[in-house]
Amino acid sequence: MGKRKFRRLSPYGMALSKKGSGLGNGGGAGERRRFYRGSMQETLTKPKPEGNDADPKADVGTALRARGLEHLPNRRERMVKALNYLPVDRPPVWLMRQAGRCLPEYVALRRKHSFRDLIRTPELATEVTLQPIRRFGFDAAILFSDILVIPEAMGQSFRFRDNGGVEMESQVKDLADIRKLLEVGVSERLQYVADALKLIKPNLHNRTALLGFAGSPWTLANFMLEGGSAKRFGKARDLFLRDHHTYNLLAGKLTAAVTEFLQMQIACGVDAVQIFDSVGGDLPGAEFEAASGKWIEMIVSHLNGQVPVIVYSKGTRAWDALAKTGANVIGIDQGIALEEAERRLPRDIGIQGNLDPEMLINSTPVEVAAETRRLLELMRDRNGYIFNLGHGVPPTAKMENLEALVMTVQDFL
């Protein structure tokens, strides 16, 4: 059982021999390592279309196993360390919207069940959460749900439009509508999320981190006042500028609901939570703190450091206000150079992102691998870097590009 020493090759033909001893984390002697130069597709066993993951090895990720990398440090440990700004062997990787329409196994399941059924049926939500873990061996799984379950639990349900986007059943228009929103009983009505988390957790065998999430009050207010998706959100900002008092009443109710919801997720054992402030960047910098940042800050402070918090505020460049939220990690979108974001944020805050999701559609695997490596190199000497995209995986992402991204991070030494 001697130490193994060999040059590692990425599937894109790059010799990866720096810090070669990083591999000495196990792996039995005589185990054959295989390198792939093409798509991993043929090496993937067909994921089970439904049901729970009974095989404790299954969550290791077919791709990692095929390359003999399953013995590398526990992925949950790696993610938790990075979230806590501790050194790691390589940055952990997960992707926003890693579960969903980019995966054929999701599309197959979705043919049989509505999105609503998928998120409201704990067994199905568990299956969909685990699909990307089985396929790619990500370091973290994210609960399969949606930010809009909060408005729904407050009395404003939603549906999907045939031509894309979401539509809320009703529109929150005025003070009277805001007063009607239910504050009490939100977590009881979201019991299905707790049930899903309780099922997901043991299926990760403590080897993959589990992330919970919620939308930010500002982002939820945008969807609620607009009555669904909009090309340009404007109503929440109008309300914020016109009538602070009424906006604050709505944001305050949402802050209470989101806090309660995240507390429930923490009680179910999530390792960290992410707050999605997807339309934070629609606010001019000077307004960000009052309309969004301070409500996020309130949520973070109520969570009291029980788990690390990732704040993803797309397009927001109000760095001081972002840091002031108390986030442990800030998610960075693709609209800014990673090195600039890194320069502008305090050194003790972790950074997540920011590979351009468009690359997954329009570039080649070699280009994706090169860009992934460039970002990893930029962050090489910084603790608390978590590899991710600048926004969610697009439904039309090419599988071979996702593979190139994941393998490049997993092979990074």
Contacts of 358 (CB under 8 A, 6+ apart): 334, 394
The minimum distance between CB 87 and ligand CP3, in angstroms, equals 27
Nearer Cβ to ligand CP3, position 10 or 316? 316
Count of residues touching ligand CP3 (by CB under 6 A): 22
The minimum distance between CB 106 and ligand CP3, in angstroms, equals 7
Contacts of 378 (CB under 8 A, 6+ apart): 338, 339, 342
Which of 100, 151, 384, 390: binder of ligand CP3 (CB under 6 A)?
100
Q: Which residues of 105-120 are buried (b: 16+ CB within 10 A; e: fewer)?
A: bbeebbeebebeebbb
The minimum distance between CB 142 and ligand CP3, in angstroms, equals 5
209/99 Cα distance (integer angstroms): 15
* Binding of ligand CP3 by 276 (CB under 6 A): yes
Residues 154-213 that bind ligand CP3 (CB under 6 A): 160, 164-166, 213
Residues 102-121 that bind ligand CP3 (CB under 6 A): 110, 115
Nearer Cβ to ligand CP3, position 276 or 387? 276
User: Looking up tokens 């992707």, which residue turns up?
Assistant: 95
Please state the separation of Cα 124 from the chain's center in Å: 19
Q: What is the DSSP string of 258-310?
A: HHHHHHHHHHTT-SEEEEEETTGGGS-HHHHIIIIIHHHHHHHHHHTTSS-EE
Residues 67-96 that bind ligand CP3 (CB under 6 A): 96
The minimum distance between CB 360 and ligand CP3, in angstroms, equals 14
Q: Which residues of 148-164 are buried (b: 16+ CB within 10 A; e: fewer)?
A: bbbbbbbbbebeeeeee
Which of 146, 177, 367, 371: binder of ligand CP3 (CB under 6 A)?
146
Nearer Cβ to ligand CP3, position 51 or 164? 164
376/409 Cα distance (integer angstroms): 8
From 24-32, 67-75, 141-149, 186-194, give the range in contact with ligand CP3 by CB under 6 A. Answer: 141-149
From 98-106, 175-183, 197-205, 369-377, give the range in contact with ligand CP3 by CB under 6 A. Answer: 98-106
The minimum distance between CB 201 and ligand CP3, in angstroms, equals 16
The minimum distance between CB 148 and ligand CP3, in angstroms, equals 5
DSSP, collapsed to helix, strand or coil, labels residue 236 as: helix
The minimum distance between CB 160 and ligand CP3, in angstroms, equals 6
β-bridge pairing 350-353 and 329-332: parallel
β-bridge pairing 309-313 and 272-277: parallel
Q: With contact defined as beta carbons under 8 Å apart, do 170 and 156 qualify?
A: yes
Residues at the site binding ligand CP3, with contacts judged by CB under 6 A? 96-101, 110, 115, 142, 144, 146-148, 160, 164-166, 213, 229, 276, 278, 392
